[in-house]
Structure 1
Amino acid sequence: MDKQEEILEEIFTQFLKGSRIFKNREVLRHDYVPENLPHRKEEILRLGEITAPALRGSPCSNVLIYGKTGTGKTAVVKFVLNKLAQKAKEINSSLKVCFVNCRLAGTEYRVLATLCSSIDIKVPFTGLAVGEIFDRFRKNLESQGIIFIVALDEIDALVKIRGDTLLYELTRINESLKDSKVSIIGISNDLKFKEFLDPRVLSTLSEEEIVFKPYNADELQDILMERAKIAFYEGVLTEGALKLCAALAAAEHGDARRALDLLRVAGEIAERRGDKKITEFHVREAQERIEHDQVYESIKSLPTHSKIVLLSVYFLSKFDPNRSVTGDIYNLYSEICEQLGVSPLTQRRVSGLINELDVMGLLNSRVVSLGRYGRTKKISLGVPRKVINEVLSEDERFRSIMDYKPKYLSSLSKSSSNK
């Protein structure tokens, strides 16, 4: 047995000997749909009333569901549709349902392919025009004589990137159907989502609207308590740890997903250390770990030019934290583009990227007055420099430039010393 095998053997043995924390960690995952959804009775009843006519062969109203991340939208829709499908099977109703996450699907093609698959239409993974798939979908749907309820989760992600053409076609499909009908449930995290829609699409899609309000700390405690009973062995989770998870998530717009993530990661930390209980200490460490991972992934997934803008502010902040104004950033950005062999964008476009990074929390910008010289925007990093260094150093394109000494900064240093 070599050293690596010995290390793994020790890890596995230690884990099996260690304290038992989790009974079922899967119930703390985002995709788990519990049998009971605390504090969402009103929303469940409302959606149930809207969709019930489908059991008698009538198309139900289209619904738009809004609410911030972690407010229970997806869980409620899945819960209601699961119960609806069960009831339809009991009474031999010609009702079918389909749930699609548009962000994960990514393209109109994949959304349509998922809809086709749910009613037993085989479509190749790629290769067909979207229009051709839609025609197949419509013809096969009509031949089946069914009521088809389609739930499109994170619908805003599809519309913002691909436009609302598919939504327009889906909201108009019933005009060309006689024996089948389609109803749509759209789910969005963006309360301004409607602004991206063509008025014709909006009028048809938003026949009914349900808004999910954020959970408060007490409601989050109830949710965590329900899940904890199934997730952990008795006596493992301390009351202080549970309350802290709820309080931290309540501070972030009442996000139940964040609360569940905190609880799961805190449990994993306790488990790896062989601790017998999950305490507030584990929750605090879980918070740090989650925040680091979120920032890491946010930076890692940025387009090249956004990374260069962030790197420009990174270099400027090392030189002089008070020096990061838009003009300096653009000059440094242009120099880095040249070093990387990338064609620079216009200053106006770079200003737009700075605004996007500000919205993401990776940069902080504030307008400051220069008296009679007008106003300017001061930019600072919104995340630790070490995280930016960590992520970009792992990017093959940026690795070689992390220790670069920008000429522009040298010129700034000389001009400052000459004053």
Structure 2
Amino acid sequence: MIRDARVLRTDFVPQEVEHRDHEVNYLSDVLRPLTDGDPADTVLVTGPTGTGKTCVTQFVGDRLREETLDVEFQYVNCWRHYTFFRCAYAVLDGMNETVDVHRQSTPGDELLARLEAYDGPPRMLVLDEVDQLEDPSLLYDLHELPQFAPVLIANREAELFGQIDDRLTSRLRGSERIRFEKYGLDQLVAILDARARRGLAADAVGTAELERIADAAAGDARVGISVLRSAARKADRDGDERITAATVEAAIPDAREEVHQRNLENLTRHQKILYDIVEDAGEIEPNAVYERYRERVADPKSDRTVRNYLQKMARYDLIEIEGTSRARVYRSLN
């Protein structure tokens, strides 16, 4: 049944992006000066999880690199590279400039000096999950370097601006903005159908089954693709020629758990501690979270950073937040 397993991966970048023509064209237009060797504006890309932000930026970057010899494209996930050093190192590593960089002894100033000295082709630099950076000052430096065209991806603009200083805020306020909204049911069905036609045998899944998957995904393409992959894997394992309604229903909880575990694995050390605190408590108020967190770590983050971490986890369906301000509580979803 499965013809091309790559297509059923959430990080697969298709040859054509479904239902994001406006966003693709907008981003391409903003970055067009790079093709003439000129600087391009910083772009801020925001929206809920699973709305195609990463896919579109990688699609545009790949196309830009295919069409223009003298333009480079690089992608860095700031959830994995969340410190100044890790992020700067990842950027330099993509430029093959880390041969003599020592992770334990090379100061951050030297990494920055190497970025400033870069004189290669203009570089589209995607920083995904940029609100995860513990030290966002690197964004200011990159924004000031004309050889880089930063594309910053975050869930919500307010949270990104809430953790950066006034100097950087004033710079980023003038950036180009692209807002991604959740997919509608028909749009998500079309996305899943395109994946099925490319990755599965002909007529392996019907419209009714794709609609059920899209409904369960609630506008999140990552969840939808994960359900489709789980259903295809189960049908293939059972020797079925088609994905049935029963197969889809069985795949939904498995796929959700797979997404849940993947999101858990992405958490930083501090985020994992906060997650465990909420899980152990079942339901807990903010002050109690901060107190228990400070008891468990020797290098606690600020309350504002902790709050941002918890909000991030809620958007990835790892915990639940109810209420606002003083009435807020954090709840486990298990």
- TM-score by length of structure 2 reads 0.80
Displacement of 1:118 in angstroms is 2.8
- Identify the residue that residue 260 of structure 1 maps to in structure 2: 225
The count of residues paired between Structure 1 and Structure 2 equals: 310
Question: How far apart, CA to CA, are the structure 2 residues paired with 1:78 and 1:263?
Answer: 22
The alignment status of 1:165 with 2:137, answered yes or no, reads: yes
Does the 8 Å CA contact 2:137/2:168 hold for their aligned counterparts? no
- Identify the residue that residue 110 of structure 2 maps to in structure 1: 132
- Identify the residue that residue 93 of structure 2 maps to in structure 1: 117
Displacement of 1:381 in angstroms is 5.6
- Identify the residue that residue 216 of structure 1 maps to in structure 2: 184
- Identify the residue that residue 300 of structure 2 maps to in structure 1: none
Instruction: Say if 1:40 and 1:309 are closer, same or farther in 2 by CA, change over 3 A.
Output: closer
Instruction: Say if 1:342 and 1:50 are closer, same or farther in 2 by CA, change over 3 A.
Output: closer
Displacement of 1:377 in angstroms is 8.9
Q: Work out which structure has the larger RCO, using CA pairs closer than 8 Å and 6 or more positions apart in sequence.
A: 2
For the aligned residues, what is the CA RMSD? 3.4
Which of 211, 230, 238 aligns to 1:243? It is 211
SS at match of 1:210: strand
Aligned letter for 1:311? D
Which of 243, 260, 274 aligns to 2:239? It is 274
Instruction: Say if 1:304 and 1:166 are closer, same or farther in 2 by CA, change over 3 A.
Output: closer
- Identify the residue that residue 200 of structure 1 maps to in structure 2: 167
Aligned letter for 2:152? G
Instruction: Say if 1:168 and 1:289 are closer, same or farther in 2 by CA, change over 3 A.
Output: same
Q: Mind listing any 5+ residue stretches in structure 2 that lack a counterpart?
A: 298-302
Displacement of 1:112 in angstroms is 1.5
Displacement of 1:304 in angstroms is 4.8
Does the 8 Å CA contact 1:299/1:307 hold for their aligned counterparts? no
Question: How far apart, CA to CA, are the structure 1 residues paired with 2:165 and 2:6?
Answer: 40
- Identify the residue that residue 194 of structure 2 maps to in structure 1: 226
The alignment status of 1:190 with 2:156, answered yes or no, reads: yes
1:30-72 Cα distance to aligned partner (Å, 9 max, x none)? 2211111111111111111111111111101111011111111
SS at match of 2:12: coil
Question: How far apart, CA to CA, are the structure 2 residues paired with 1:291 and 1:248?
Answer: 10
Does the 8 Å CA contact 1:50/1:61 hold for their aligned counterparts? yes
1:234-293 Cα distance to aligned partner (Å, 9 max, x none)? 1221222111111222x2xx1111111110011111122222211121221111113344
1:194-220 Cα distance to aligned partner (Å, 9 max, x none)? 222223223323421111111100011
- Identify the residue that residue 4 of structure 1 maps to in structure 2: none
Q: Mind listing any 5+ residue stretches in structure 1 that lack a counterpart?
A: 1-20, 175-180, 314-323, 335-340, 344-348, 368-374, 384-419
Question: How far apart, CA to CA, are the structure 2 residues paired with 1:289 and 1:263?
Answer: 11
Instruction: Say if 1:165 and 1:220 are closer, same or farther in 2 by CA, change over 3 A.
Output: same
1:2-401 matches, cutoff 5 A: 21-89=1-69, 93=70, 95-123=71-99, 124=101, 126-127=103-104, 128-139=106-117, 141-142=118-119, 144=120, 146-158=121-133, 162-174=134-146, 181-192=147-158, 193-205=160-172, 206-249=174-217, 251=218, 254-294=219-259, 303-304=272-273, 307=276, 310-313=279-282, 356=310, 359=314, 362=319, 382-383=333-334
Displacement of 1:122 in angstroms is 2.6
